[in-house]
């Protein structure tokens, strides 16, 4: 390919002609945003996000579809480009009827990820739930009791259906657990950064601010005027709602981060802003609350016995209020009024009466509070307002004269304005009157000059119209440099959660201020909201099944009088779990992966710019694994094209035109009605959440997962995949970050197969058989027992009587350790796998791949024999599709008329078992065109010559013309790959593998030998071959079994007893053994028969390497902990140690095993890290000389079926089968 | 003597088949040598059915509006009596005829045979020199010379973009490929345009011959006519023509005994406007969704089935045999420096003589509207022309001296386009015109790229609310900003040109937009929701309006001046239409 020079963003780069600007920019580390491009697909140019400026072009050009040319000058970012990209995003967003996060999160002043923590609660991941909450709110146990819950009242979509989810109950539940469990890991503060901050006021705003500052490594001094920290939490909210010990525990956690607290330290008395500034603080936070009380403004309000509600509550909090008795009147309708009323009741009042000037409907107090107050016996008079206080003879209050009110038109606050009904005055007797009609900040008295030098010279603290501190909504900055503020002192009396949020935001801004000299608001992420389009309806809900809200158990009302014990008792574990299931997961599952959202944030796109009509669709959940939400679809067509271009299925299509265009399953119905093979590539390519996996977890977040590079262990392709992990749970599988266009696909097993590896059905404990019965045992206990019985001479076995069987799904490290265990600790060379005991005539271990999957995708001609690419070797099939798409031609040799045959340029449809002759015939025809071809294969040449092409055609059962056509295609092409399946199940001939391998050589091409099991090649490379270990060459383990000479059997990961069709004489041989030790992932027929059962770890639960069918060594990392606690390698090493060979098998980890393999096995010497970008197949050892022996070639062999030897794939197949059966049935019913 | 009946779709719609039947029944009885014949469309849509009496000496009399009931008189007076019926005569070879300006000012190359020959009879095409050009080309056997001739003639693609046809052919000829294709784009989709339909219906062989010549020139052996399914008559006549041409050996293998073979297939389009776009058209022929892809590669390089393909419009191809026969010089002598030859226009709107006209390049808009087409209907005032269909723009009457050539038209913000030309008078609301065309493009967008799919939708929403009296401050700026974005950041011509009607009306008629938004008035009194209905003193109290008013907004005693309650009026326009005394005014 010719090279061209061009300039991108001022950099001179060299690129292959024919590449696109997007590709060349990426190669040079310049990222250009795109939504419609996927490097596996042809350029489409539909989203127009990738536009760039090319000198000389009239308009911006889509870089995904514009090829580079010599001398081109490209600019990938400037204001014009940013504007165009933002416009494209805004247009897409104007038709993106979707919620990024649930409305609950949006309505939470602190923006807590509610869906996330409820999901974690549903999974029993309480620690993670609390940690998630604490990212936004450090006082969850407090909030779980006193929050006004906008998330429930206005946020929760369940309001459309039945009742809101008990979000706050769940929060309280998990945070109470945290408070109770002292050993839970809690976030640790960053190392001290040497800077210090002052926080004035230990109320919710100050505490929250201090928490986040302390986490960032600041030294924080909290200064509190009252004797104890907590502010309104302690001195405004009564104990029966918020027990002081809960308060103490949560505040204790904040102080535990290293913040210091000084109580009884009063601003304006003990210190001033000036002194703080002089004290060297980097920034100061003022969170001094709103402790002023509004007056009734009626005559004789100052009579003894008339108290401000807020003062009354504070005194109760200080333990000072005694002597309350008789009739208590409370004026007001907010939470403070209710708190006063209920406290008064508990303090001994005979009668408590709450008077409110509007009706119950307008009362601002929480509904729940009102209900409970009434239960407790608080009387309520609505439409009643005080006119004057009536003094008794002593001058004390004796009564209040009131007047009846009626409601007029709405006032500024939107509530109906009450007005007195003339002549309706009446008198209510009272011993005490509590006034709770409003609170105010008391800042003015600090700064009006009464306190000399309170503010530094020249500084002024700006106040609002309501005499609160004026502070920036996002940063909390006040008019004084370096002084921030938040909470009630800014907002006036508001909610705890608002104060907490303000404290956190200020902490963020103060940190930036301290570090960079200017305050900065928390970054704002783009969030799409359905409500921006119009009010949502029941049709938007993911489910319409009603379920009742769990009610909070409360202390019996009759028990509440005279006690401040907490009224709400908290949910039971069962109820908390059940309530968490009620969450309908309104937020998008692609929240953390969505490219549309990422770019919208990056480009500052606004959803409202082009708002107009948006398309609305119903969710399609007919497919059991894949969920389609067309509302989120941006018509990029990636799913349509990946299914068509890469998979060759075309399960998706565009329907309708223009604005109404929509991507749907091809026939407009369900995906189940299409040819969809459920590979999941559409999920992976979708840039939004329009196509999502239907996760099998009870709740699936979304959470910000950790990506772990791994390898799919279901077949010989050994596809690189990623595991997405959160909180120790495998959330889903994803595309490897090192995936390339040519190499990086997977099939449904890779995408969905992780689900069956989850704990549910796995072996989670070891077992030991005693008296014919298996009983559970600890892994270590089982290993001890195993060692006792295995150890020679006690075990009494010579090496000949021991056999170890290893699954080709284990990693190289595990296999290596297994054979080492056998050799070193068990003294036997009988190490093999059950697959190796059968089909011996067919075994040709020297035949191995010389081609990679990428070679196949680039081939000009592909000869496929003995393999059904479309069904059994999906990923190889994709590579072959790619070759065909780029003009390559496929020759298919086989009796079946399947999809592979359909796409073949030539189908040599031989009779069953005739493949060998067909390939030989093709080779003969090829040699007629390329006479040199067979020169270095004299034996083969002679046989073909001798037999004659006509006869080969006859033996193959095909017209000779077909062979000639195939030969011609191969002769016309240069890059050639021969593909065949070493584990082919059809009728075979003994010499076919060797013939195919020689054919590949003779054609001047390479060979891709497909394998059914992931690590079949690794098994051979680790020395576990058909005839056991080197050194036991010729040992006939099958023969030993048949002769019942094997007395001790160790099986790792195979299930011969559960394999129908496995030769009965071999099974008998196993049954004749006296000791059967079996390790597996799942309970199987073989583990059931075992004397000792060991639970092994899966690929997700360990690290290591696999050698796939290409011969590529693929490393993987541990994603989650093993179900039973130990990784397979640890089990093997531990067993060795119990057998007295601890030293020989002492490893610090699988890395050390890999290193030993690298020293011992040729071709394994490279370093292998998980997700190594492009480990090529080991090239060191040239494949052994292939010897095709015509004498053996023609023998017919029907291979023994061996698939079920492994339980994991069977289980996956069963699970998938059942899911699809149910989905189809549901679809038929609908 | 022969009597010819114009049986194009427009003639048939006006009753030409009945006229033909009446003639066929009566004419043969009147004497020997009298024949009725079919022919295509001469272009006088405003006077269909058109009947021509042609004497054996070649003298011709064309009559307009000859419905079946007029046949008797025509036969009696002209055929039998020998005296032409002067009052119906539109054009005659003797210099008479009331509408001769319409035809006399035209230069007919593309339409040379339209209305003169029977499109279903290859013999008549051969009589006028048909397939001579193909014969000459094949016999000379010099493809490069053909391409040179077309290049020298200055012929530019008549589909709209005006790309030089010779250059396009040269690219296709020079591109590497095993099998090349010619595609005739007959997916005429602009609302109001029917040039291609008329040519296909009236003279299909000239298009087939043009395709074969093109095929010879670029080295293609196969051609497709991609014709919209809504043109059944064109498809029928094309099929007949194809069969006849194959039968005569003008298509197929070994044409004129040479080694050149060329086959043509018909492919019916499925009615998507965007399939007129080259890459979408190719996708459609290939059986895929008609969706454009980005270019390059251009079809000349990678077209149908990935092979080099030349896609030419019907009108372009119909020019080709003429140019080959008459030489490039004859063609290039017509027109301006950059725009040669003629252009066919479909005249529609408020013009007196609506129909198909072919005029030399370089003529002015004024000449077409006033001289050829007789000016505005019913004494209205000429306000603007809309050229180029939904991709085009409005040119105001002040610019009526603009000459018809690609560059001059483009300077106004409109485009030559495929030849739709809508004439507007002062009752046309320009905002509504923009809305109308945008509604069309928006509906016909394929939905692939963001700006075209969503951008045009948002523009339409703004235009709609303006015409409904819900315009908002800033709407004009929003429209302009969106229009620029859609124009620059759309994948294919459909999106790139869709804002043109909006941009040109904003350029020349911005005041109308402002009136709609700021004053809630439609100056053309067209947008009903913006109108106020008033009854003037002229009202004589006939009560007709009261009776038709569906909302009961009109009150008044008999013989008293009536009153409309604007709060109740739903602006249905019924009263305005029924009032016989012009007593109702709309403001």
Write down the pLDDT at residue A701: 86
Question: How far A164 CA lies from chain B's nearest CA (Å)?
Answer: 36
**In chain B, which residues have their Cβ closer than 8 Å to the Cβ of A656?**
447
Question: Residue B462: closest CA among chain A residues belongs to which residue?
Answer: A612
**In chain A, which residues have their Cβ closer than 8 Å to the Cβ of B454?**
91-92, 94-95, 610, 659
Please indicate if any CB of chain A lies within 8 Å of the CB of B461.
yes
Please indicate if any CB of chain B lies within 8 Å of the CB of A88.
yes
B488·A91 Cβ contact <8 A: no
Backbone dihedral angles phi then psi of residue B310, each to the nearest 5 degrees: -105, 125
Please indicate if any CB of chain A lies within 8 Å of the CB of B457.
yes
Give the bridge partners for A721, in sequence order: A710, A735
d(CA B145, CA A219): 89
Backbone dihedral angles phi then psi of residue A1092, each to the nearest 5 degrees: -135, 130
Query: Do A613 and B461 touch, CB atoms closer than 8 A?
Result: yes
Question: How far A45 CA lies from chain B's nearest CA (Å)?
Answer: 7
Among all chains, which residue has been given the structure tokens 């009846």?
A404
Give the bridge partners for A73, in sequence order: A7
Please indicate if any CB of chain A lies within 8 Å of the CB of B497.
no
Write down the pLDDT at residue A1028: 53
- Environment class of A585 (CB within 10 Å of its CB; exposed 0-12, middle 13-18, buried 19+): middle
Q: How many CB atoms lie within 10 A of CB A466?
A: 12
Question: How far B1 CA lies from chain A's nearest CA (Å)?
Answer: 53
H/E run at residue B225: strand B220-228
Among all chains, which residue has been given the structure tokens 């908002």?
B472
Give the bridge partners for A805, in sequence order: A832, A1051
Q: Which of A654, A668, A610, A660 is nearest to B444 (CA)?
A: A660
B453·A610 Cβ contact <8 A: no
Mean pLDDT lowest among A409-413, A1026-1030, B222-226, B485-489: A1026-1030
d(CA B87, CA B64): 10
d(CA A886, CA B312): 29
A613·B457 Cβ contact <8 A: yes
H/E run at residue A400: strand A397-410
d(CA A369, CA A375): 10
d(CA A75, CA A61): 11
Question: How far B481 CA lies from chain A's nearest CA (Å)?
Answer: 10
d(CA A1068, CA B176): 69
Write down the pLDDT at residue B439: 95
d(CA A164, CA A159): 5
What dihedral angle (degrees, nearest 10) is formed by the CA atoms of A1090, A1093, A1099, A1100?
140
Average pLDDT (B307-313) is: 97
Q: How many CB pairs under 8 A join A and B?
A: 101
Among all chains, which residue has been given the structure tokens 């959803």?
A607
Write down the pLDDT at residue A1199: 75
Query: Do A361 and A355 touch, CB atoms closer than 8 A?
Result: no
Question: Computed from CA positions of residues B65, B66, B68, B74, in that sequence, does the dihedral angle turn out positive or negative?
Answer: positive
Query: Do A1136 and A1144 touch, CB atoms closer than 8 A?
Result: yes
Q: How many CB atoms lie within 10 A of CB A1069?
A: 24
Please indicate if any CB of chain A lies within 8 Å of the CB of B274.
yes
Per-residue DSSP letter, B171: H
Query: Do A930 and A902 touch, CB atoms closer than 8 A?
Result: no
Per-residue DSSP letter, A756: G
Query: Do A238 and A316 touch, CB atoms closer than 8 A?
Result: yes
Please indicate if any CB of chain B lies within 8 Å of the CB of A661.
yes
Among all chains, which residue has been given the structure tokens 């199987």?
A1084
Question: Residue A93: closest CA among chain B residues belongs to which residue?
Answer: B454
- CB-nearest to A661 from B453, B461, B485 is B453
3-state secondary structure B350-391: CECCCEEEEEECCCEHHHHHHHHCCCEHHHCCEEEEEECHHH
Backbone dihedral angles phi then psi of residue A1136, each to the nearest 5 degrees: -60, -40
Tens of pLDDT, residue by residue over B150-189, are 999 999 999 888 999 999 999 999 999 889 999 999 999 8
Q: How many CB atoms lie within 10 A of CB B29?
A: 8
d(CA A970, CA A968): 5
**In chain B, which residues have their Cβ closer than 8 Å to the Cβ of A18?**
none
Query: Do A329 and A400 touch, CB atoms closer than 8 A?
Result: yes
Backbone dihedral angles phi then psi of residue B164, each to the nearest 5 degrees: -60, 125
Backbone dihedral angles phi then psi of residue B269, each to the nearest 5 degrees: -75, 160
- CB-nearest to B449 from A48, A653, A659 is A48
pTM of the model: 0.92
Write down the pLDDT at residue A1166: 74
A659·B447 Cβ contact <8 A: yes
Among all chains, which residue has been given the structure tokens 């928390």?
A522
**In chain B, which residues have their Cβ closer than 8 Å to the Cβ of A657?**
272, 274, 443-447
Per-residue DSSP letter, B47: G
**In chain A, which residues have their Cβ closer than 8 Å to the Cβ of B482?**
610
pLDDT along chain A (1230 residues), means of 10: 92 94 95 95 94 94 95 96 97 96 97 97 95 96 95 95 96 95 84 96 98 97 96 94 95 93 96 95 97 92 94 90 87 94 92 94 90 93 95 94 92 84 94 94 91 92 95 97 97 95 98 96 95 90 90 89 89 96 95 97 94 91 95 96 92 93 91 94 96 90 94 91 93 88 84 87 93 94 93 66 93 96 90 86 86 92 91 90 92 91 93 94 96 90 93 95 97 95 88 92 94 90 71 72 94 92 92 95 94 96 94 93 95 95 93 93 76 48 61 73 68 92 93
Tens of pLDDT, residue by residue over B438-452, are 999 999 999 999 999
**In chain A, which residues have their Cβ closer than 8 Å to the Cβ of B458?**
91, 94, 610, 612
Question: How far A881 CA lies from chain B's nearest CA (Å)?
Answer: 18
Degrees, nearest 5: CA angle A931-A936-A941: 65
d(CA B566, CA B586): 12
Query: Do A663 and A655 touch, CB atoms closer than 8 A?
Result: yes
Portion of chain B with pLDDT greater than 70, in percent: 100
Please indicate if any CB of chain B lies within 8 Å of the CB of A95.
yes
Among all chains, which residue has been given the structure tokens 């509408």?
B99
* Predicted ipTM of the assembly: 0.92
Query: Do B64 and B99 touch, CB atoms closer than 8 A?
Result: yes
**In chain A, which residues have their Cβ closer than 8 Å to the Cβ of B449?**
45-48
B461·A92 Cβ contact <8 A: no
B142-170 exposure pattern, b = at least 16 Cβ within 10 A, e = fewer: ebeebbebbbbbbbbbbbbbbbbbbebbb
Note the helical H segments in A57-125: 79-93, 103-107, 114-122
Please indicate if any CB of chain A lies within 8 Å of the CB of B518.
no
> A61-62 and B180-186: which strand pairing?
unpaired
d(CA A806, CA A1016): 10
Write down the pLDDT at residue A798: 75
Query: Do A247 and A175 touch, CB atoms closer than 8 A?
Result: no
Tens of pLDDT, residue by residue over B81-112, are 999 999 999 999 999 998 899 999 999 999 99
* Residue A702, preceding peptide bond in cis (omega within 30° of 0): yes
SS3 state at A402? strand
d(CA A405, CA A708): 67
- To test the contact with chain B by mutation, choose from A91, A595, A614 the residue with the greatest count of B C-beta atoms within 10 A, namely A91
> How far out from the chain centre does Cα A817 lie?
33
- To test the contact with chain B by mutation, choose from A21, A43, A48, A96 the residue with the greatest count of B C-beta atoms within 10 A, namely A48
Write down the pLDDT at residue A1180: 38
d(CA A332, CA A354): 7
- CB-nearest to A45 from B449, B455, B456 is B449
**In chain B, which residues have their Cβ closer than 8 Å to the Cβ of A634?**
450
> A327-331 and B563-564: which strand pairing?
unpaired
**In chain A, which residues have their Cβ closer than 8 Å to the Cβ of B302?**
none
């Amino acid at each position: 390919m010719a090279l061209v020079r061009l300039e991108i963003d001022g950099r001179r780069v060299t690129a292959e002609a024919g590449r696109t600007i997007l590709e060349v920019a990426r190669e040079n580390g310049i990222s250009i945003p795109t939504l419609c491009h996927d490097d596996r697909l042809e350029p489409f140019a539909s989203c127009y996000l990738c536009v760039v400026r090319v000198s000389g072009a009239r308009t911006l050009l889509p870089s995904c579809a514009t090829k580079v040319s010599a001398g081109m000058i490209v600019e990938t970012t400037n204001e014009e480009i940013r504007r165009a990209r933002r416009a494209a995003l805004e247009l897409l967003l104007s038709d993106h009827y979707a919620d990024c996060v649930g409305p609950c999160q949006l309505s939470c002043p602190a923006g807590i990820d509610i869906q996330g923590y409820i999901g974690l609660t549903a999974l029993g991941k309480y620690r993670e739930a609390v940690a998630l909450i604490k990212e936004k709110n450090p006082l969850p146990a407090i909030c779980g009791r006193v929050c006004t819950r906008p998330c429930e009242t206005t946020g929760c979509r369940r309001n459309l259906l039945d009742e809101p989810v008990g979000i706050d109950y769940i929060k309280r539940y998990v945070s109470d657990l945290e408070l109770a469990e002292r050993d839970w890991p809690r976030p640790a503060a960053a190392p001290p950064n040497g800077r210090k901050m002052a926080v004035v006021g230990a109320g919710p705003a100050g505490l929250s601010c201090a928490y986040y500052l302390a986490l960032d490594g600041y030294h924080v001094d909290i200064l509190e005027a009252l004797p104890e920290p907590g502010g309104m939490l302690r001195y405004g909210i009564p104990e029966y709602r918020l027990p002081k010990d809960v308060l103490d525990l949560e505040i204790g956690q904040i102080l535990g981060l290293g913040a210091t607290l000084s109580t009884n330290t009063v601003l304006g008395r003990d210190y001033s802003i000036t002194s703080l500034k002089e004290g060297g603080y980097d920034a100061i936070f003022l969170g001094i609350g709103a402790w002023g009380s509004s007056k009734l403004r009626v005559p004789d309000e100052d009579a003894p016995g008339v108290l401000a509600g807020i003062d009354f509550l504070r005194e109760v909090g200080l333990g000072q209020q005694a002597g309350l008795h008789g009739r208590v009147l409370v004026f007001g309708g907010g939470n403070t009024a209710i708190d006063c009323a209920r406290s008064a009741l508990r303090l001994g009042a005979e009668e408590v009466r709450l008077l409110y000037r509007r009706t119950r409907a307008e009362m601002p107090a929480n509904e729940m509070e009102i209900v409970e107050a009434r239960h407790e016996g608080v009387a309520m008079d609505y439409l009643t307002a005080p006119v004057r206080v009536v003094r008794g003879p002593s001058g004390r209050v004796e009564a209040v004269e009131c007047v009846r009110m009626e409601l007029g038109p709405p006032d500024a606050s939107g509530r109906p304005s009450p007005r007195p009904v003339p002549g309706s005055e009446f008198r209510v007797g009272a011993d005490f009157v509590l006034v709770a009609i409003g609170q105010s900040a008391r800042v003015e008295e600090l700064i009006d000059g009464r306190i000399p030098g309170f503010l530094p010279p020249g500084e002024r603290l700006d106040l609002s119209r309501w005499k609160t501190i004026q502070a920036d909504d996002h940063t909390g900055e006040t008019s004084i440099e370096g002084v921030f503020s938040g909470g009630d002192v800014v907002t006036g009396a508001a909610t705890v959660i608002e104060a907490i949020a303000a404290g956190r935001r200020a902490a963020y801004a103060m940190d930036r201020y301290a570090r960079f000299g200017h305050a900065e608001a928390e970054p704002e992420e783009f969030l799409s909201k359905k409500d921006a389009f119009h009010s949502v309806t029941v049709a938007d809900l993911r489910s319409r099944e009603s379920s009742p809200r769990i009610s909070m158990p409360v202390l019996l009302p009759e028990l509440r009088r005279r006690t401040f014990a907490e009224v709400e008792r908290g949910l039971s574990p069962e109820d908390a779990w059940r309530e968490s299931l009620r969450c309908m997961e309104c937020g998008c599952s692609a929240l953390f992966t969505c490219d549309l959202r990422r770019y919208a944030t990056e480009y500052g796109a606004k959803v409202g710019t082009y708002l107009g009509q948006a398309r609305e669709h119903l969710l399609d959940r007919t497919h059991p694994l894949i969920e389609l939400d067309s509302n989120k679809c941006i018509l990029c067509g990636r799913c349509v094209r990946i299914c068509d271009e890469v998979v060759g299925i075309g399960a998706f299509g565009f329907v309708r035109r223009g604005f109404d265009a929509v991507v749907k399953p091809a026939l407009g119905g369900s995906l189940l009605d299409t040819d969809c093979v459920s590979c999941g590539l559409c999920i992976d390519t979708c840039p939004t959440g329009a196509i999502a996996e239907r996760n099998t977890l009870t709740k699936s977040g979304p959470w910000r997962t950790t990506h772990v590079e791994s390898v799919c262990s279901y077949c010989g392709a050994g596809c690189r995949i990623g595991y997405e992990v959160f909180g120790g749970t495998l959330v889903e599988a994803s595309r490897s970050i090192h995936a390339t266009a040519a190499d990086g696909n997977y099939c449904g097993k890779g995408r969905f197969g992780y689900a069956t590896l989850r704990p549910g059905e796995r072996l989670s404990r070891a077992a030991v058989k005693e008296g014919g019965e298996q009983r559970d045992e600890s892994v270590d206990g089982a290993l001890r027992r195993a060692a006792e019985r295995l150890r020679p001479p006690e075990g009494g076995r010579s090496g000949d009587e021991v056999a170890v069987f290893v699954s080709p799904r284990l990693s190289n490290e595990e296999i290596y350790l297994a054979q080492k265990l056998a050799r070193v600790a068990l003294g036997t060379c009988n190490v093999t796998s059950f697959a190796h005991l059968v089909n011996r005539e067919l075994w040709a271990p020297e035949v191995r791949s010389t081609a990679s999957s990428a070679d196949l995708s680039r081939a000009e001609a592909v000869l496929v024999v003995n393999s059904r690419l479309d069904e059994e070797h999906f990923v190889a099939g994709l590579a072959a599709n790619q070759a065909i798409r780029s003009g390559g031609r496929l020759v298919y040799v086989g009796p079946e008329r399947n999809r592979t045959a359909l796409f073949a340029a030539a189908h040599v449809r031989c009779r069953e078992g005739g493949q060998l002759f067909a390939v030989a015939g093709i080779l003969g025809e090829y040699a007629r065109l390329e006479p040199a071809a067979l020169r270095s294969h004299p034996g083969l040449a002679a046989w073909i010559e001798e037999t004659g092409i006509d006869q080969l055609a006859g033996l193959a059962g095909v017209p000779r013309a077909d062979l000639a056509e195939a030969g011609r295609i191969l002769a016309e092409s240069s890059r050639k790959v021969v593909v065949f399946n070493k584990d082919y199940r059809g009728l075979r001939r003994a010499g076919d593998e060797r013939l195919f391998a020689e054919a590949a050589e003779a054609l001047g091409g390479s060979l891709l030998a497909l394998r059914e099991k992931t690590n079949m090649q690794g098994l051979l490379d680790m020395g576990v071959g058909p005839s056991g270990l080197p050194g036991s060459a010729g040992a006939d383990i099958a023969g030993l079994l048949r002769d019942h000479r094997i007395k001790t059997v160790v099986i790792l990961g195979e299930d011969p007893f559960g394999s129908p069709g496995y030769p009965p004489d071999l099974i008998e041989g196993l049954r004749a053994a006296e000791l059967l030790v079996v390790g597996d992932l799942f309970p199987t027929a073989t583990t059931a028969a075992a004397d000792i059962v060991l639970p092994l770890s899966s690929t997700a639960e360990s690290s290591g390497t696999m050698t796939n069918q290409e011969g590529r060594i693929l490393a993987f990392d541990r994603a989650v902990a093993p179900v039973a606690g130990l990784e397979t390698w640890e089990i093997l090493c531990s067993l060795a140690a119990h057998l007295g060979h601890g030293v020989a098998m002492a490893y610090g980890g699988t890395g050390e095993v890999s290193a030993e393999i690298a020293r011992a096995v040729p071709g394994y010497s490279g370093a292998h890290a998980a997700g190594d970008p492009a480990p090529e197949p080991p090239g060191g050892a040239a494949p052994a000389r292939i010897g095709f022996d015509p004498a053996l070639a023609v023998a017919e062999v029907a291979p023994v079926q061996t698939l079920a030897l492994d339980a994991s794939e069977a289980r996956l197949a069963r699970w998938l089968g059942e899911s699809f059966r149910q989905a189809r049935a549901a679809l038929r019913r609908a | 003597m022969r009597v010819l009946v114009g049986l194009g779709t427009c003639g048939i719609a006006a009753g030409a088949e009945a006229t033909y039947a009446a003639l066929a029944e009566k004419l043969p009885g009147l004497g020997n040598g009298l024949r009725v014949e079919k022919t295509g469309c001469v272009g006088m849509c405003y006077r269909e059915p058109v009947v021509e009496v042609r004497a054996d000496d070649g003298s011709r009399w064309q009559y307009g509006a000859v419905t079946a009931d007029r046949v008797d008189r025509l036969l009696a007076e002209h055929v039998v009596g020998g005296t032409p019926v002067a009052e119906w005569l539109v054009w005659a070879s003797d210099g008479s005829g009331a509408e001769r300006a319409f035809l006399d000012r035209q230069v007919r190359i593309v339409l040379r045979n339209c209305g003169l020959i029977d499109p279903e009879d290859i013999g008549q095409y051969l009589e006028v020199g048909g397939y001579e050009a193909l014969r000459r080309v094949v016999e000379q056997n010099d493809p490069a010379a053909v391409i040179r001739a077309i290049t020298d003639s200055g012929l530019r693609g008549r589909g709209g973009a005006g790309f030089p046809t010779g250059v396009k052919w040269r690219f296709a000829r020079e591109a590497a490929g095993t099998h090349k294709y010619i595609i005739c784009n007959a997916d005429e989709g602009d609302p109001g345009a029917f040039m291609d339909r008329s040519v296909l219906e009236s003279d299909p062989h000239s298009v087939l011959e043009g395709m074969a010549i093109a095929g010879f020139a670029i080295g293609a052996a196969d051609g497709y006519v991609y014709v919209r399914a809504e043109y059944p008559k064109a498809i029928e006549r094309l099929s007949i023509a194809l069969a006849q041409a194959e039968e005569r050996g003008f298509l197929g293998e070994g044409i004129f005994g040479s080694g050149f073979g060329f086959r043509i297939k018909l492919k019916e389009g499925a009615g998507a406007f965007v399939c007129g776009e080259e890459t979408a058209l190719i996708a459609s022929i290939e059986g895929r969704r008609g969706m454009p892809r980005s270019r390059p590669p251009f079809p000349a390089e990678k077209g149908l089935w990935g092979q080099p393909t030349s896609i030419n419009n019907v009108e372009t191809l119909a020019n080709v045999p003429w140019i080959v026969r008459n030489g490039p010089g004859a063609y290039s002598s017509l027109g301006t420096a950059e725009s040669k030859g003629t252009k066919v226009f479909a005249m529609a709107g408020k013009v007196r003589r609506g129909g198909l006209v072919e005029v030399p390049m370089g003529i002015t808009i004024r000449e077409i509207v006033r001289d050829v087409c007789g000016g505005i209907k019913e004494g209205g005032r000429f306000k603007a022309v809309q050229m180029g269909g939904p991709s085009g723009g409005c040119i105001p009457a002040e610019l009526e001296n603009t000459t018809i050539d690609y560059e001059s038209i483009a300077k106004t913000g409109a485009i030559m386009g495929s030849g739709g030309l809508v004439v507007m008078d002062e009752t046309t609301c320009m905002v509504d015109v923009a809305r109308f065309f945008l509604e069309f493009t928006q509906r016909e967008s394929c939905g692939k790229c963001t700006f075209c799919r969503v951008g045009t939708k948002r523009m339409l929403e703004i235009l709609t609310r303006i015409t409904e009296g819900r315009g908002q401050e800033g709407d004009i700026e929003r429209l302009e900003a969106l229009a620029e974005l859609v124009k620059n950041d759309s994948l294919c011509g459909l999106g790139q040109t869709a804002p043109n009607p909006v941009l040109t009306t904003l350029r020349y008629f911005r005041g109308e937009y402002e009136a709609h938004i700021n004053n809630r008035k439609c100056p053309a009194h067209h947008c009903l929701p913006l109108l106020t209905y008033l009854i003037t003193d002229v009202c004589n109290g006939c009560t007709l309006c009261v009776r038709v008013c569906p909302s009961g907004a009109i009150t008044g005693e008999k013989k008293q001046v009536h009153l409309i309650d604007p709060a109740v009026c739903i602006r249905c326009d019924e009263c305005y239409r029924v009032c016989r005394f012009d007593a109702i005014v709309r403001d």
